[in-house]
Structure 1
Amino acid sequence: MAKLAFLGMGVMGYPMAGHLAAKGHEVTVYNRTAAKAEAWAKEHGGHCADTPRAAADGAEVVFACVGNDDDLRSVVLGEDGALAGMDAGTVFVDHTTTSAIVARELAELANDKSIGFIDAPVSGGQAGAENGALTVMCGGDSETYARVEDHIGCFAKSCRLMGEQGAGQLTKMVNQICIAGLVQGLSEGMHFAQKAGLDGDAVLDVISKGAAGSWQMENRGSTMLKDEFEFGFAVDWMRKDLGIVLEEANANDASLPVTALVDQFYHDVQKMGGGRWDTSSLMRRLK
């Protein structure tokens, strides 16, 4: 049993913190909208705090899962930030999808206070968080990672150290690049099947067992055919992630023509009013 803190009670952080509490850890949570933290504490028997600093006070490990680079800085830095409440020898684990730049920046500040830092973005969406089946890709030193691996395992089916600080975020960028291309290809395939007069569900059943099969096909193919998108990972968040990807690609001279194109397709979906639709809503753009 450990004393832990979790910052960010969104659709991911709320269940992730719940899994930590279910394993017997003492968990204190913080959320910018206090009502969410209070609801979590009532449901899981933990504690809630008014500031990130108060949540982090006395915690051995502080986890965070917030929105973007600026949101992360807001809960880590400053007089009321988590670092101000953490002791030397503790560890900060960031599950937010951010730039590798902010991961390295905050890691350096943490290291100056003898606090460990692991950037640990996740994949698997809300369902993965709720079911404790996330994939977590981590950046940091091996000794610090070993201290938090079991804690992360409370809500992950797979967790791996990918390299030094920032490597977790870079790996998540690869993940988002692959998803963008897969979803666009799946959208075009299902759109073609409908235009050709085929039974879309039958097509999915057949091709999912061959080389075209993917997580996206298994979990999103049927809902795409039904024109259902009011769930899942929002287009607004995907565009945030792809913006990070394209900025990093510009810095490291990677060529990502398909990713840049799909990012613009998601922009089209936003203009259609679909910013909160699931990323599989690329198919609606084709209609």
Structure 2
Amino acid sequence: MARTAFLGLGVMGFHMAGHLARAGHQVSVWNRTGAKAAKWKKDHKGEVAKDPATAAFGAEFVFLCLGDDPDVRTVFDALEPSLGAGMIVVDHTTASAGLSRELHERCKAKGAHFIDAPISGGEAGAINGKLTIMCGGEESAFAAAEPVMAAFGKKMTLIGESGAGQLAKSVNQICIAGIVQGLAEGLHFAEKAGLDAAKVIEAITGGAAQSWQMENRWKTMVEGHFEHGFAVDWMRKDLRITLEAARENGASLPLTATVDQYYADVQAMGGARWDTSSLIARLTRDA
């Protein structure tokens, strides 16, 4: 069993840290708001630290699950004095590849290791311990961290060098954005054509149009229920990172840029905290 620290007990991190504790690892947690950390301590076996440096001190693995680049940098700055030789910092935040490379170098200077490890699977994946984890970093550090991450991950893949995990997460979000927009338009078309959406989905699921989004979100999309997962605000953050990376590497992402603006429309409708399937609300608002 490993000595671990988990910094960031949000929608995902709360459950991920819990899985570490249930797996028998020693866990020290920290969260910006103390009430969330206190709730975690009530539900799980582990310790609550007063700050990131205290949580990380003496840990073999330090896990981060935060909001955006500025949050990661602030927390890393705070824990950096506790970094020691052989420690492995694993960042599950969806952040920029550039920041991951920077933190990799800062860990290296202390004899520690850094893995960028953004996650996919939503809150349900975190609750069930079935997350997909895309990693960038050194092979030896990944090999050491993999059995620990297995407490909350069902599939862990080392994509390449530092930053590669974050770039792979961008690929994931590009694909999701296009799929959800296509599903929204398909369902909207079915409604306008007077078709029974349930029968249409029954007919096409299992064929070439099938997707996780179709199987799990078509009904709530038709019903206008958007409280089932990853929020629009967070998707726009991820797409911002993706589009910035595309400008750097020369990738052409016209569909992704368009869907990003569609999500901006959803925000303007008051849907900032709706889940990503709410793209259909743009199409049905004037119906």
> TM-score, normalising length from structure 1?
0.98
Can you give the 5+ residue segments of structure 1 that lack an aligned partner in the other structure?
Answer: none
Which of structure 1's runs of 4+ aligned residues deviate more than 6 A? Answer: none
Separation (CA, whole Å) in 1 of partners of 2:31 and 2:142: 25
Where does residue 268 of structure 2 map in the other structure?
Answer: 271
Can you give the 5+ residue segments of structure 2 that lack an aligned partner in the other structure?
Answer: none
CA shift for structure 1 position 20? 0.5
1:203 and 2:200 correspond: yes
Mapping for residues 20-31 of structure 1, pairs under 5 Å: 20-31=20-31
> Which deviates further from its counterpart, 95-104 or 218-227?
218-227
Cα offsets for 1:88-118 (capped at 9, x unmatched): 1110000000010100011111110011100
1:174 and 2:147 correspond: no
Where does residue 97 of structure 1 map in the other structure?
Answer: 94
Separation (CA, whole Å) in 2 of partners of 1:61 and 1:16: 14
2:219 to 203, 218, 222: 222
Cα offsets for 1:59-110 (capped at 9, x unmatched): 1100010000000011101xxx122112211100000000101000111111
Mapping for residues 5-44 of structure 1, pairs under 5 Å: 5-44=5-44
Separation (CA, whole Å) in 2 of partners of 1:154 and 1:181: 31
| AA partner of residue 248 (structure 2) | A
Separation (CA, whole Å) in 2 of partners of 1:273 and 1:133: 31
Cα offsets for 1:214-270 (capped at 9, x unmatched): 011111111101110023100000000000000000011100000000000000000
Aligned length: 284
CA RMSD, 1 decimal: 0.7
Separation (CA, whole Å) in 2 of partners of 1:233 and 1:144: 29
2:149 to 136, 149, 152: 152
Secondary structure of the structure 2 residue equivalent to 1:232? coil
In 1, are the aligned partners of 2:83 and 2:107 still within 8 Å (CA)?
no
In 1, are the aligned partners of 2:136 and 2:160 still within 8 Å (CA)?
yes
Cα offsets for 1:179-219 (capped at 9, x unmatched): 00000000000001111111111211221110000011111
1:111 and 2:108 correspond: yes
Where does residue 131 of structure 1 map in the other structure?
Answer: 128
Secondary structure of the structure 1 residue equivalent to 2:132? strand
| AA partner of residue 196 (structure 2) | D
> Which deviates further from its counterpart, 273-282 or 85-94?
85-94
Secondary structure of the structure 2 residue equivalent to 1:286? helix
> TM-score, normalising length from structure 2?
0.98
Identity, % of aligned pairs? Answer: 60
1:212 and 2:212 correspond: no
Separation (CA, whole Å) in 1 of partners of 2:270 and 2:50: 35
